[in-house]
Amino acid sequence: MGGALVGASVMELAYHRAAWARAGVAGLDANLFDLQKVAEGVYFAHARPQAMLNCNAAVFVRSKDVVVVDAHSKPSAATALIAQIKREVTEKPVRYLINSHFHWDHTQGNRAYMQTGSKVDIIATSATKALMEKNAVTRLKESVDAIPKQIEALQLQAERATSADEKAYCAESIRQLKAYQAEMKDYALELPTITFDESYLLRDTAFDLQLEYHGNAHTSGDLFVLCPQRQALATGDASHGWLPNLADGYPKLWPKTIDAVAKADFKFVLGGHGPVQSDRTVMMSQRNYIEELTNLVGWAKDGGMPLKQIQKMIPVDSLKSMKQNGYEAFLTRTLAQETLHFGPMPPLQDDVNSNIRDVYNNLDRT
């Protein structure tokens, strides 16, 4: 789940609308993230629901400075996390920002890190930098242009609302949308200053960080950040606690990429969305789900079956990967915990159907 702004495709817009549409206003305060200590020097910034989605961030506190993985949907969110790290974790400056991939909710906050007053380098794969150059400004414009209709829909919902809570939700969502719209008028694209193709090493006396590209997955430029001394792996959206998004993905290659990553020695998985994972269960469940769905959609498409029929052919209950290791129950529980809503939760089948559509469209991507 997520919005469809910079780095996200038009199809991703529809796929992720539900997350912010269900996001409520209860419990809002100055913190946009819950900072959790994962291991010595390793923290997980778990993003709270917002009308314009923010990704999680991995925070690595080294001997003299800090390395942060991913920069959220807007500079103000990144600024908020920088301040929160100083309040709750350390006064050490951020020295490196890593963009795990090119999508809007992981890169649009880059600018805030370049304005901290200390030297910051942004690191990404060469493919991610190229995708940012190609897509960022155009997709941002598309998303900002869509906001008036979103506000209009929320105003109509508020008029029909029968509870004070729903009216408050609509008002807060409209406020956040307008604030985002105003902030992004002055948006300046900040590109990575350091790029690599296969691997890049950040050494420090505290621990090492190994930045590695293992193949196409969520995008063509996904990188993974491994901290071997702390057995922690930051994965961006190539592996996280929600259903995968395949709008810019490579369904046939993605499981192979995860297999390559899984050869490393790690325990903790710090994903771009959803809760931190203390083992590999969710990572491998997501990998198996993508593989199973790709095989089923590929077989049906090769047989000439149209997309809508394929979606009807693959109910959630028919997927073995959903039943293994409680993956379906985990997804349902995570959705309920991380998004507030009015009325019944939308069925998981809606998101699975979106995955089926994206697999169908991207089946032959290499």
Tokens of 125: 């794969």
d(C-alpha 366, C-alpha 71), whole Å? 28
Residue pLDDT tens, the chain, 366 long:
333 322 333 333 333 333 333 333 333 345 799 999 999 999 999 999 888 889 999 999 999 999 999 999 999 999 999 999 999 999 999 999 999 999 999 999 999 999 999 999 999 999 999 999 999 998 898 889 999 999 999 999 999 999 999 999 899 999 999 999 999 998 889 999 999 999 999 999 999 999 999 999 999 999 999 999 999 999 999 999 999 999 999 999 999 999 999 999 999 999 999 999 999 999 999 999 999 999 999 999 999 999 999 999 999 999 999 999 999 999 998 887 776 455 567 889 999 999 999 999 999 999
Q: Whole-structure pTM over 0.85, yes or no?
A: yes
Helices 348-362 and 327-338, packing angle to 10 deg: 110
**Residue 248 forms part of a structural domain:** yes
**Residue 182 forms part of a structural domain:** no
**Residue 163 forms part of a structural domain:** no
Which strands, in side-by-side order, build the sheet including 199-202? 199-202, 209-212, 224-227, 232-236, 268-271
Question: In angstroms, what CA-CA distances link 307 with 234, 252, 291, 296, 351?
Answer: 34, 18, 18, 12, 15
pLDDT of residue 342: 57
Are the CB atoms for 23 and 49 separated by under 8 Å? yes
Tokens of 99: 């963009």
pLDDT of residue 30: 58
Are the CB atoms for 70 and 53 separated by under 8 Å? no
pLDDT of residue 49: 86
Name the residue range of residue 32's domain.
10-130+189-278
- Please, which residues bridge with residue 68 across strands? 59, 97
Q: Which residues contact 50 (CB under 8 A, 6 or more apart)?
A: 20, 23, 32, 73, 77, 176
d(C-alpha 204, C-alpha 201), whole Å? 10
d(C-alpha 35, C-alpha 37), whole Å? 7
**Residue 352 forms part of a structural domain:** no
d(C-alpha 106, C-alpha 110), whole Å? 8
d(C-alpha 124, C-alpha 12), whole Å? 22
Q: Would you put residue 150 in left (φ > 0), alpha (ψ -120 to 50) or beta? A: alpha
d(C-alpha 139, C-alpha 93), whole Å? 31
How many domains is the chain built from? 1
**Residue 83 forms part of a structural domain:** yes
pLDDT of residue 336: 77
**Residue 306 forms part of a structural domain:** no
Domain holding 249: CATH number? 3.60.15.10
Burial class (CB in 10 A: 0-12, 13-18, 19+), 205: exposed
d(C-alpha 327, C-alpha 82), whole Å? 33
pLDDT of residue 19: 39
**Residue 112 forms part of a structural domain:** yes
pLDDT of residue 31: 79
pLDDT of residue 339: 63
Which strands, in side-by-side order, build the sheet including 121-125? 33-39, 42-47, 57-61, 66-69, 94-98, 121-125, 194-196
Are the CB atoms for 135 and 127 separated by under 8 Å? no
Burial class (CB in 10 A: 0-12, 13-18, 19+), 303: exposed
**Residue 333 forms part of a structural domain:** no
Classified as helix, coil or strand, 290 is helix
